[in-house]
A and B are shown apart, each in its own frame.
Chain A
Amino acid sequence: MSDAKKKDELLVDHNKDGVDRRGFLKCMAWAGTGAFCVMSGGVLKSYSLSRVSEIGAADAAGELSFVQISDSHMGFNKPANTDVAGTLKAAIDKINALPVAPEFMLHTGDVSHLSKPEEFDAVEQILKSSAAKEVFYVPGEHDVLNDDGKDFLERYGKGSVGGGWRSFDKKGVHFIGLVNVMNLKAGGLGTIGKEQLEWMEKDVKHLKSSTPIVVFAHIPLWSVYPEWGWGTEDSAQALGYLKKFGSVTVLNGHIHQVMQKVEGNVTFHTAASTAFPQPSPGKADSPGPMKVPADQLRSVLGITDVSSVRGRHALAVIDSTLA
């Protein structure tokens, strides 16, 4: 084994983003079991999740850690998963068992399955037992079915503007929550819309380009599979406003499976659902709930743990399954 392989050093920096293909693939292969990958001065270092505590006090200083959960679909009760409350509880237990307690949680939508009040109530009840003190929500299309999202906005809109979008800062990281499930047009994809895009442009205009950015929204902001509606029509415009930033992480849900894509300074990540999986693009007739043997269900559901270490270039995004 060469020295370079042992030290995980960068061999060829194709995209000038500090990651070479081998290092990136190695990191991604560990993502399912819990690897902590940190970029430091162009060198990709990886630690297994169990060794996160060994990273060191100096590195831990100014650390920000949060969790993303998605697609709890409270109210769904078909064979793909007849107990979505149980699997959501298992996800919260997993969060509570993380070595570093998350400061807050992002829920990237489809909280409920049919936008029913009792479904939202049930999720809130379960989330009360989580170690995360705050939860920020963006709606999924299942959350705005009855009243154009009025109930959702009343429950989770505190601090948001317009149709429920928002931005906030945590330890130097700027978070932007977008709503891309309203006013969907026939034959279309997710849409952000003029009003929200204008707000976003103003929101990031005066930020320093060294500010790490995290954007979270329900439908993927990259074209995962347009045939199944897995994309956002006007995301290119939104991402255009973020071109100047050195580190942009986009967290989405909606497709009920983990997918990652790195494009220059932008890392796109979609989370697993805590309710039921969906097929890989094109691998089924339609993107409906995918049934798996009961003993395998929890291995296809999961949570996402995200850490930012001050001074590091990119955020570390780790997915772990419920089993």
Chain B
Amino acid sequence: MLKKTLRFTGWTIAFLTAFSMLAVGRVSLPAATAKPQPAQTAEVKIDNFSFGPETLTIAVGTTVTWTNRDDIPHTVVASDAAKTFKSKVLDTDEKFSFTFAKAGTYPYFCSVHPKMTGKVVVQ
């Protein structure tokens, strides 16, 4: 009985601590500084044989989702030798997402229509 109580108490304390830390964390959002909270997701629309926006600047950890709005299939393939990201073929309305965990510049293109190029700049 004692063991159970102790365990329960321990768990409760841990939970309350975590909860209050979270609450503190939320409250500590800076109101005075100019830098906004970075977005976690970003979008690129594929239409008319082009990527829009052609250059996308995001923060590390952001997930970019490409949506094909064109009436012809496209792909999203990183231009580097390692092919950091490579989508399967996307028909109209299909999507592809990739999370950029490392900073850098990532040029990419459509492997079906190689004249279509874009860039993701991760800061």
The chain A residues found within 8 Å of chain B, CB to CB, are 78-80, 113-115, 141-142, 145-146, 184-189, 227-229, 285-289
Contact = CB atoms under 8 A, between A and B. Distances in A.
Interface in B44-95: 48-50, 70-73, 75, 79, 88-89, 91-92
Interface residues of B, number: 22
Interface of B: 48-50, 70-73, 75, 79, 88-89, 91-92, 107-109, 111-115, 117
A114 B73 CA distance: 8
B71 to A, nearest CB: 5
Contacts of A186: 79, 107-109, 114, 117
A142 B113 CA distance: 10
B70 A229 contact: no
B108 to A, nearest CB: 7
A284 to B, nearest CB: 9
Contacts of A286: 48-50
Dominant SS among interface residues on chain A: loop
Contacts of B48: 285-286, 288
Dominant SS among interface residues on chain B: loop
A18 to B, nearest CB: 37
A119 B111 CA distance: 20
Contacts of A285: 48-49
B116 to A, nearest CB: 8
A301 B112 CA distance: 22
Nearest to A289: B71
Nearest to B48: A286
25 contacts: A78-B71, A79-B71, A113-B73, A114-B91, A141-B112, A141-B113, A142-B112, A145-B112, A146-B89, A184-B114, A186-B108, A186-B114, A187-B114, A187-B115, A187-B117, A188-B115, A189-B114, A189-B115, A227-B115, A229-B113, A229-B115, A286-B49, A286-B50, A288-B72, A289-B72
B81 to A, nearest CB: 11
B58 to A, nearest CB: 20
The 3 closest A-B CB pairs, nearest first, are A186-B109, A286-B49, A229-B115
Nearest to B50: A286
A79 B72 CA distance: 11
